[in-house]
Amino acid sequence: MNSSSSAVVGVLFGITDLELDILDTFEDVEYERTTVDVSLMDGSHKLRAHTYVWGNQNDPNLFGEWDFEQWKRAHMNDFLKMTTGFMEELELPESKPRVATYESFFQHDDNNSPMP
């Protein structure tokens, strides 16, 4: 990715080191945490921020438009259940990373709802 010409619209927020560790665990092996330069839309600030980038740059599903409203209707409920399971797992002495939690969620999912 060429950072000088790439742009995304998103939300920037501050988190603690503990929250960053939880995000690192959640994003697991599928994403790489990267530091990027950020310019606020109003032009008031430029700063450095962390972002997670999908690790498989050759993934044929990586490119294209992503529709949040469509994802929300189709997948949000299952995602929230899986995320709740992940957070409960973090409380255990030997917790599993998010990918393992995701896989176990779908092995025990009663309604067999597919996730992206």
Catalytic status, residue 27? yes
Structure token digits, residue 99 = 């990918």
Query: Catalytic: which of 19, 27, 69, 89?
Result: 27
Coil, strand or helix: which one is 78? Answer: helix
Q: Residue 50's closest CA among 13, 85, 76, 1? A: 13
Catalytic (active-site) positions: 27
